[in-house]
Structure 1
């Protein structure tokens, strides 16, 4: 896609890792198709993952009671965020597509990647309570999670010991990516990577490169739009008419808003188009 820009955020400590190889394969494939590719190799950058008062420059508005979200919002408005945050925000602004490449640790992202999100996705820049979910600031951008696991896919099945991978993905894909407005693409998952022989790994990299050739044409996963909820005192709740319209469905609408019905199968793994 000539004219498009991708950002690959890598969170792995070793350059001889399969995650690094996935990053390299993605960058090469996208460049061949005319993409501009930006990279944030968080371990190599020694990116600071811990939130602190040092994340703003100048005086705090209320130094006696430092409220991180409020202070960074004001600093963002005034251009007073820390330099390393500003550099990463500029990359996000330029990117049409963001790929998060990481190993799954403790059913989530590595701490360094979570810290990047917490520091870079500041209030105002990445969300507000007037602009979130389907109306979020990044609604014209696409994003996907590309990660490896230590165990097989059967362990992440509905009867597996680790539990349904759709449930594990929900807070990452809905609570982070969808919350900030991204069109969330199907995740790229390499299960039990340490147990895959070399020829198998080579094929996985080829398949990943092939997918990325047409990545911009992919349809995103489905989430309920913000308009399906109304702001009652204490938080947003699904509108009664929306809930009633969904009440006769075989499955709940999402993993999170399931209305006490069976969870929609693989809704965090495949878009409705790819399930047809």
Structure 2
């Protein structure tokens, strides 16, 4: 949709991977619609995933004992965060839609993307208890979705499968991070076991994503409550 802004936070080492293709399709399709698309390519940026003292510019709030949560909160309030965090937070503030593109690692996101969450979605910027979940600081007209690939097939991520239902895996990421910060969560885009399927099926995964993106602005958020995840 013309005038809309999109931030794609992308975590994969190989541009030729399916994740790389999914990211490229999102850029192409959303740009064709007139959206302004920005990509934070975390590996290419060599994004620092660790929460360290260097995230705070200048003096510490409590130099006697370093507490990252407190120091980042105070730095956020006082405009004393490092330039890379200010830049990523600017992208988030401007975005109408955030897409997180990644391969599933150990029932979660890659460390570099988790580090982006840890450093960017800090208290004072994305939440400020009790301003969380439906009152989170990012609640104003912002949607977010997880687009990811898995190693196991869809059967493995069923209620009866070895890994349990995929919605159980999504609870800490969608509810514990995105919803906690107030974002309206769209249904995930999941490509199951792309490395183990035929070429035609991988092509179908890409075309399905492109088709969905054509109407992504019309989608309604999921009802991000425990029942969506566990009453299956």
TM-score range, shorter chain: over 0.9
- Residue number in structure 1 paired with 2:156: 155
1:33 aligns with 33
1:108-123 alignment runs, 5 A limit: 108-123=108-123
**What does the per-residue CA deviation read over 1:150-177, in whole Å, with 9 as the maximum and x for residues that have no partner?**
1101001111111111111111110000
How far 1:254 moved relative to its partner?
Answer: 4.7
- Match of 2:147? 146
CA distance in 1, matches of 2:202, 2:194: 8
Distance in 1, matches of 2:34 and 2:206, equals 19
Instruction: Give the alignment's TM-score, normalised by structure 1.
Output: 0.81
CA distance in 2, matches of 1:72, 1:89: 13
Aligned residue among 212, 223, 227 for 1:253? 227
Compute the displacement of 1:130 (Å): 2.8
CA distance in 2 between counterparts of 1:212 and 1:119 reads 28
Q: TM-score w.r.t. structure 2 length?
A: 0.97
Report the secondary structure of 1:154's partner residue. Answer: coil
Q: In structure 1, what is the equivalent of residue 3 of structure 2?
A: 3
Which sections of structure 1, spanning at least 5 residues, go unmatched?
Answer: 225-251, 256-262, 266-276
Deviation for aligned residue 1:196: 2.1
Separation in structure 1 between the aligned mates of residue 188 and residue 61 of structure 2, nearest angstrom:
40
Q: Where do 5+ consecutive residues of structure 2 fail to align?
A: none
- State yes or no: 1:205 paired with 2:206: yes
| Distance in 1 between residues matched to 2:186 and 2:119, nearest whole Å | 23
1:64 CA displacement: 1.2
| Equivalent pair of 2:185/2:224 in contact (CA under 8 Å) | no
Alignment of 1:59-78 (within 5 A): 59-78=59-78
Contact persistence 2:2–2:33 (CA under 8 A): yes
Residue 9 of structure 2: SS of its match in structure 1? strand
1:204 CA drift (Å): 1.6
CA distance, structure 1, for counterparts of residue 199 and residue 167 of structure 2: 28
Which of these two proteins has the greater Rg computed from alpha carbons? 1
Q: Distance in 1 between matches of 2:31 and 2:41?
A: 18
Q: How many residues align?
A: 231
Deviation at 1:195, TM superposition (A): 1.3
- How far apart in 2 are the matches of 1:118 and 1:175? 12
The corresponding residue for 1:190 is 191
Q: In structure 1, how many angstroms separate the alpha carbons of the residues matched to 2:185 and 2:38?
A: 19
Superposed CA RMSD? 1.1
- The CA deviation string for residues 13-69 of structure 1, in whole angstroms up to 9 with x for no partner, is 111111010000011010111110010000000000001111000000111111111
CA distance in 1 between partners of 2:102 and 2:228 (Å): 25
Deviations 1:65-86 (A, max 9, x none): 1111111111111211011111
Instruction: Find the counterpart in structure 2 of residue 264 from structure 1.
Output: 231
User: What secondary structure does 2:155 align onto?
Assistant: helix
Whole-Å separation in 2 of the counterparts to 1:138 and 1:27 = 23
